[in-house]
């Protein structure tokens, strides 16, 4: 009799411990946290973007470096930190679009950056940002 009650008590204790561990994991590792982290990483990359020009008689943007390990080239986009990043290059200008691969999960807002360094974002989830979108800045995010 005592053995059955003891086993029931042990199950109850481990159930409470499991719940105590599971709840914080669900709270602290939600998809939205991952989306926010990715978004901050993308904002840092976009602010750090540096174009590299070719040495042809007429200089042209060949690629844009987003940091020491990431380089965008014109053409199909590439996925970085949960965002599809696409470089559009002209002779002396460029724009970069950054759209979450899975809006709301891998990123929140879409971004647009031009050669002047101006960063725009689209607050409507799932819609791509462009030059007419709202400007990002003024303490909208802390880059820590």
Tell me: the pLDDT tens digits for 10-48? 776 666 776 555 555 444 545 569 999 999 999 999 999
Q: Pull the structure tokens for residue 123.
A: 């607050």
Residue 90, classed as helix, strand or coil, is coil
The mean pLDDT value for 93-119 works out to 95
Cα-based angle 54, 57, 63 (whole degrees, multiple of 5): 15
CA-wise closest residue to 128 among 111, 115, 114, 140: 111
Contact (Cβ atoms closer than 8 angstroms) between residue 74 and residue 88: yes
Query: Based on the number of CB atoms within 10 Å of its own CB, is 111 exposed (0-12), middle (13-18) or buried (19 or more)?
Result: buried
**Long-range contacts: 50-54, Cβ < 8 Å, 24+?**
51/89, 51/94, 51/115
Does the structure show a pLDDT above 50 at 115?
Answer: yes
Rg (CA), the chain: 23
């Amino acid at each position: 009799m005592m053995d059955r009650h003891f086993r029931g008590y042990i199950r109850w204790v481990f159930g409470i411990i499991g719940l105590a561990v599971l709840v914080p994991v669900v709270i602290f590792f939600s998809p939205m946290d991952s989306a926010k982290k990715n978004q901050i990483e993308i904002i840092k990359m976009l602010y750090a973007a540096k174009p590299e020009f070719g040495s042809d008689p007429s200089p042209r943007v060949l690629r844009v470096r987003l940091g020491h390990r990431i380089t965008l080239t014109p053409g199909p986009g590439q996925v970085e930190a949960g965002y599809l990043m696409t470089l559009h290059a002209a002779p002396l200008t460029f724009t970069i679009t950054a759209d979450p691969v899975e809006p709301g999960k891998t990123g929140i807002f879409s971004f647009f950056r031009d050669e002047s360094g101006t960063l725009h974002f689209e607050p409507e989830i799932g819609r791509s940002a462009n030059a007419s979108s709202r400007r990002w800045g003024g303490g909208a995010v802390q880059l820590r």
